[in-house]
Amino acid sequence: MSIVDGLVYLGISHFGYQLDAAAALDGMDAVGTDAAVVVPMHPHRGDLALANQEVLEVASKSDGRLIPLCRVDPWEGGAAVAEVRRAVGEGARGVFLHPSEERFRINDVRVRPIVECAAELATPVMVAAGYHLFAEPLQLAAAARWTPANPFVLTNGGQFNISGMSGFDAQLALENANVHVQTSGMYREDFLEGVVATFGPERLLFATAAPMFTMAYERLRVDLAHFSELETDLILGGNTMRIFGEVSA
């Protein structure tokens, strides 16, 4: 079984954190991770096209251990759609959107052409989820319904605040069959177990979101939860490879 981290950020962030490919691979080795989905951080001056190219290049030199996604900003309009086409044509295996850092609502009409382009290219979409006003569960569900046959992967369990109605909203987002959620930052073990019990193990993906979170600590979210061996295999790598492609590592 290959263990695949569903989300690692690479680069130097405008918001003060950083991780390069060598350090990411070292961290993966330390916790027994075979491969990882990698996305660019929000760079200084916001040149996402350059950041995408840098991620594509380091991924191409990783012997299949780094699976690149491209990151785009919907405020760039048609240029963002063109960047999706370019990056996917050069090896990106998905599209990453960060509503909070790029300051847009995930269900804004500006986002729809990007999501629809990804579906046209049979390319999954990953969204940094759970951010107040920008990427809350019901907003995410609305965006996922634009392309119901294309995988829509949500970081942070789909919602940071899994309590009260927020937890209910996260479950409403999962009512859409194309929605999947990652384990990153999800502090409630019972929520993760509930996703599997209610929607099936195919809907939950292991991810660390390093360096925002710690790889070793995030791995424990899966290891300490009450999952069967088959469920654990799917969560730790099988689901991510089904959505984003097999790894050669």
Domains, in order of start, for the chain: 4-244 (3.20.20.140)
> Is 90 a residue whose pLDDT tops 80?
yes
Tell me: pLDDT of 164 over 60.
no
pLDDT cut 70: percent of the chain above it:
97
CA distance 49 to 217: 32
Range in 26-30, 117-121, 184-188, 210-214 the model is least confident about: 184-188
> What is the C-alpha to C-alpha distance for residues 189 and 8, in angstroms, rounded to an integer?
21
Q: In terms of C-beta density within 10 A (0-12 exposed, 13-18 middle, 19 or more buried), how is residue 89 classed?
A: exposed
**Arithmetic mean of pLDDT, 161-170:** 64
User: Edge-to-edge, what's the strand order for the sheet holding 70-71?
Assistant: 70-71, 95-97, 125-127, 152-154, 179-182, 204-205
Q: What is the spatial distance between Cα 42 and Cα 36, in angstroms, rounded to a whole number? A: 19
Arithmetic mean of pLDDT, 33-59 = 96
* Average pLDDT, rounded, for the chain: 94
Residue 209: HSE in the Cβ half-sphere, 13 Å Cα cutoff: 21
249 has pLDDT over 70:
no
Confidence of residue 149 (pLDDT cuts 50, 70, 90): very high
d(CA 148, CA 178): 6
Task: Report percent pLDDT > 90 for the chain.
Answer: 83
**Amino acid letter, residue 81:** V
Number of Cβ within a 10 Å radius of residue 149: 8
